[in-house]
Structure 1
Amino acid sequence: MEALETFIVESPVPEEGAAYRSIISDVISELVLGGAIGRIKVVIRPEDSLFQMAIILRGSQPTVKVSDIGSVEAGNLAKKEVKISLTEEKYLPELLELLWARYGRAKVFQPERRTLIMNAEDTSAEIEFLKEMIVADPKQTLLSRLVEMAIRSTPEGFRVRYHSMKENHFIFVASEDTLKPEWIEEGHKILAEILEEK
């Protein structure tokens, strides 16, 4: 796991804090999040059945468009074809799902591994649309992995949860009981604390 700039786990019982730090480290490693997380602070208050986590990410990746992974151009003009030639295959499954949803499975042809052909009435407009079509959003994938990491790190039975992600900041609050608004505010204060650290 890549070293984190800040990794704090606070608990009234020091041994409990150390145990949770170990659990969280293992989960971060399992989900390969070490490179994404810069700072993390966790506060555990067993007397309130409360678990709070604030994370600052190192940075986020931009969305991936079709034009980022290949070229989109006119194919056979007589057949009104639009052709995608991929330079990167990594996102091919996601791209195929999107194309099947737009055109239907039977209308997406793949004559070669890196070539996809579809028919369109207005090929010019379709080419422009496809160039800008988002194939993958790494931020959404990262958010789902952060939520999974937080849930796996939370004590058993803490099923009432709140999470928020804005820009490169992630907050997670969980409890066995109904969440109090002040607990969520505390989560935001924990985030502010680690934001201020130099």
Structure 2
Amino acid sequence: MEALETFIVESPVPEEGAAYRSIISDVISELVLGGAIGRIKVVIRPEDSLFQMAVVLRGSQKPVKVSDFAEVGYGALEKNEVKIIIDEEKYLPALLEKLWARYSRGNVMQPERKTLLIRQNEDSEKEIAFLEEMIVADPKQTLLSRLVEMAIRSTPEGFRVRYHSMKENHFIFVASEDTLKPEWIEEGHKILAEILEEK
């Protein structure tokens, strides 16, 4: 696991804090989040049945557009066909799903592994411009789901009442056995502010 800038686990029982730190480290490693997380602080208050986590990410990745990994142009039929030549195959399954949804399976052909042909009756110039800008993958959404999974797996068993928030490069998670109090969520935001101020 890549070293984190800040990794704090606070608990009124030091042994408990050390145990949770170990659990969280393992979960971060299993979910391959070490490179994404810069700072993390967790506060556990057993007396309130409360678990709070604030995370600052190292940076965010932009959504991946078709033009980031493929060349889009006219096909052999010019006006009625669009040709996509792919550089990075890892995005091919997601691209095919989106193309099938937009044009139907029958109008999307794959004559070669890295070549797609789309038959359509629209203005090809507009379709080419649309396809170049079409988002195929959003790493931020994937990262959010992995962060939520990390937080849930780190939480004590039975803490099923949960709140999470992700804005820009900041993630907050609060969980309890009981109904969440607004001040607990506010505290989560304060924990985030604390680790943001650290140099």
Q: Which residue of 1 aligns with 2:124?
A: 123
TM-score after normalising by structure 1: 0.98
What is the aligned-residue identity percentage?
A: 84
Determine if the alignment matches structure 1 residue 22 to structure 2 residue 22: yes
Aligned mates of 2:86, 2:187 — CA distance in 1: 47
**Larger displacement relative to structure 2 (104-113 or 131-140):** 104-113
Aligned partner of residue 83 in structure 1, secondary structure = strand
In structure 1, the gaps of 5 or more residues are none
Determine if the alignment matches structure 1 residue 81 to structure 2 residue 74: no
Tell me which amino acid in the other structure corresponds to 1:50.
L
Aligned partner of residue 2 in structure 1, secondary structure = coil
TM-score after normalising by structure 2: 0.98
Q: What is the deviation of 1:77? A: 2.9
Distance 1:78 1:58, change over 3 A: closer
Contact residue 83 and residue 118 of structure 1 kept, 8 A:
yes
Q: Which residue of 2 aligns with 1:40?
A: 40
Aligned mates of 2:23, 2:108 — CA distance in 1: 46
Tell me which amino acid in the other structure corresponds to 1:160.
V
Aligned positions of 1:111-190 closer than 5 A: 111-121=111-121, 122-190=123-191
Q: What is the deviation of 1:79? A: 6.6
Determine if the alignment matches structure 1 residue 195 to structure 2 residue 196: yes
Aligned mates of 1:78, 1:99 — CA distance in 2: 19
Contact residue 79 and residue 119 of structure 1 kept, 8 A:
no
Q: What is the deviation of 1:119? A: 1.2
Aligned mates of 1:154, 1:93 — CA distance in 2: 34
Aligned partner of residue 90 in structure 2, secondary structure = coil
Deviations 1:115-159 (A, max 9, x none): 011112211110000000001000000000000000000000100
Q: Which residue of 2 aligns with 1:108?
A: 108
Contact residue 79 and residue 124 of structure 2 kept, 8 A:
no
- Output the aligned Cα RMSD: 0.8
Aligned positions of 1:40-59 closer than 5 A: 40-59=40-59
